Structure 1
Amino acid sequence: MSALLEAERVSFAYAGRPAIRAVTLTVGEGEMLAIAGANGSGKSTLLGLLSGLRRPSAGSVRLAGRNLREYDRRALARAIAVVPQETAIAFPYRVAEMVLIGRAPYLRGIGLERAHDVAAAERAMARTGVLDLADRPLAELSGGERQRVIVARALAQEPRVLLLDEPTTFLDLRHAIEILDLVVDLNRHERLTVVAVLHDLTVAAMYFPRLVFLRAGCLAVDGAPAEVITEATIREVFDADVEVRTDADGVPTVRPRRRGG
């Protein structure tokens, strides 16, 4: 598996306060990687560095061997798409209009989309199961439907890399499963490279073959879920007392230990 996205000793600070400390990470083409860690450990910041939305104060991030700084904004948006944790909707968009925004890196201006841009947006909507919602206002959609629309917008960019920041946080169990099943399907059938920040370790272990833990801005562990999800590691990284069991499929599951009687 060839390296596609590489961070080499990247650091970042907010107002002088370190958030990411000399993290080195390589993501292979077609790989699925989950990033986890306690609140404030730097997960979303690292995702921002990998996307090019933030510039490291030290170190570098490379896409296909080129420093992200060498890409112009349009070229980078054609290669890397981001699904944020929350998407503010400032205008009363309909679904098709929101997805078509994903074609912005290919357009010369607003309203200048061509037939192949519309076709790309329609393919993205079909791929995410929202084509029949194309004329619906976003405000009328459920949380799961809206999240699929945001994924469709990202796919309309026709990226090589999809970055997701806690994509299931505000979803109920059924819609969370739908989103993760969709992400796995995109990875398997379209060779899309996926990096996702997740907070549920059991879910991460079920869907992602590789898992990275951050602790205080540093990379603490990196490996297969069965290797890194251990009671000792979780105690060290999350300061949490848990019980880890392995199910019949070899997937580790995490349960908090009950205190007292």
Structure 2
Amino acid sequence: MAKIARDSGVIYIIPNAGADMLTGPLCAKNIFRSSFTNWQPAYGMGIVAAEKQKHKTAVTINWKYAAGTEAADGFREGFEAKGGKVIKELTLPFPNVEFQSLLTEISSLKPDAVFAFFAGGGAVKFVKDYDASGLRKTIPLYGPGFLTDGTLAAQGDAAKGMLTTLHYADELDNPKDKAFRKHYQEKFSMEPDVYAVQGYDAAQLLAAGLNHAKGDIKNKDAVIEGMEQAKVDSPRGPFTMSKAHNPVQNIYLREVVGNHNKNLGIAVANLEDPAKGCKLSK
């Protein structure tokens, strides 16, 4: 879709996909993102693991595809920037969920910490297998928020106390989030998650562009200019757009408490993706 939008010039807002290349090598003046890059939450977790948790060594484990690789690279960059060392990068083909041999290898490596990138059913099984192996008693497991977002009910006690990082968390103490959560629950009879926030903010970003263009969607240059200049009042906290059109946003540290990813505070404030390969960011 990004390639089509880039070639056609149609304004394209990415409400979820985290692929780094979309605001990296594929960036364009008409392409914006209201979500995150895979690098952002993972980099934040690397900073936390080294600086706050005082870990010196870590192992990464992920599916071997773009999102997994980008997340593992982001963690390594943040972790090693603060003096840590990733001693092994473990991968398995997507969507394989046979983790036992890799868990055995982690046990033999004895790192201070493990960083994992899995989502959905894979995240459920990995967190439960990690807990069942006994590793969690001596080697803490970390990950980006997608390791526990939307999966806590299925993970149960296996996820209890886990720390993750993401650009959103439950119980953020700001008026926008409180109002958003209240209205969302009234409308849909369920609690909103990070995906709901990203969709809401995609609409807010477009609205900023339309307001700048006085409602004239055909005035594409004015719409784009308005989106570039926007300061979005988001439930996640205010964010702006980088030159590569990626959110410059807080990354929060969260702890699993019951069925919530409880906010423990800001892990990295106003984190901007490096947008490697994007000519707009030069």
TM-score category (smaller protein): 0.3 to 0.5
The structure richer in strand per residue is 1
Query: Comparing both structures, which one devotes a greater share of its residues to helix?
Result: 2
Report the TM-score when normalising by structure 2: 0.35
With structure 1 as the length reference, what TM-score do the two structures score? 0.37
